[in-house]
Amino acid sequence: MDAKTATKPRNAAAAAKARRAPVATPAGLGEAAAQDIGAALNALCADVFALYLKTKNFHWHVSGPHFRDYHLLLDEQGDQLFAITDPIAERARKVGATTLRSIGQIGRLQRVLDNDAEYVSPQDMLAELREDNQRLADRMRAAHGVCDEHGDMATTSLLEVWIDEAERRAWFLFEATRRGDEPGR
Ligand SMILES: [Fe+2]
């Protein structure tokens, strides 16, 4: 029996043991971190999906003299929101948590309020989205605090970019709803 064959049973046993072992958290941050960060990220992900669809709702239903500008602005903002859903969900998986599985789960977790009104004026649409994006940035700051407590720098640094994007959307929406004769602030 050569050395390679001799060690085989032990390696096989170790592999079998490893297969039966509880699932370790991939990022090595531990169980508590996986739970806390996972919960924060999944709620955020649900919010981003809900705000994405509300932004598209307004993109589809906006009307009036600024139709083209608003329609295009909201399309751009919808794309930006949709683009971060995947990295948020995958970050939850990387830290060792599960993530969203359905529209139903999004509905249960989202804190963004839907707006199914038959008609919303363009000004009200932009004002509502501005507020939603500001609140989203606030919730991202809260999630940043949770990640910080667990030393999860990778999620905090992603959140910093996403907060900036939310604030940029809020800024565009704020400027687009200002009257042209107001002095600059
Ligand atoms: Fe479109």
C-alpha closest to that of 51 among 141, 114, 143, 127 = 114
Find the helix packing angle between 31-61 and 67-95, rounded to 10°.
Answer: 160
What pLDDT is attached to residue 14?
80
81 neighbors 110 (Cβ within 8 angstroms): no
pLDDT digits 0-9 by tens, 7-46? 556 688 887 877 776 656 787 888 999 999 999 999 999 9
* 73 Cα–ligand 1 center, Å: 11
* 26 Cα–ligand 1 center, Å: 38
What pLDDT is attached to residue 5?
47
* 67 Cα–ligand 1 center, Å: 12
C-alpha closest to that of 90 among 54, 37, 52, 127 = 37
What pLDDT is attached to residue 28?
84
What pLDDT is attached to residue 33?
94
* 172 Cα–ligand 1 center, Å: 19
What pLDDT is attached to residue 1?
44
What pLDDT is attached to residue 132?
98
What pLDDT is attached to residue 104?
98
* 19 Cα–ligand 1 center, Å: 47
* 80 Cα–ligand 1 center, Å: 13
The stretches in the chain having pLDDT less than 50 are 1-6
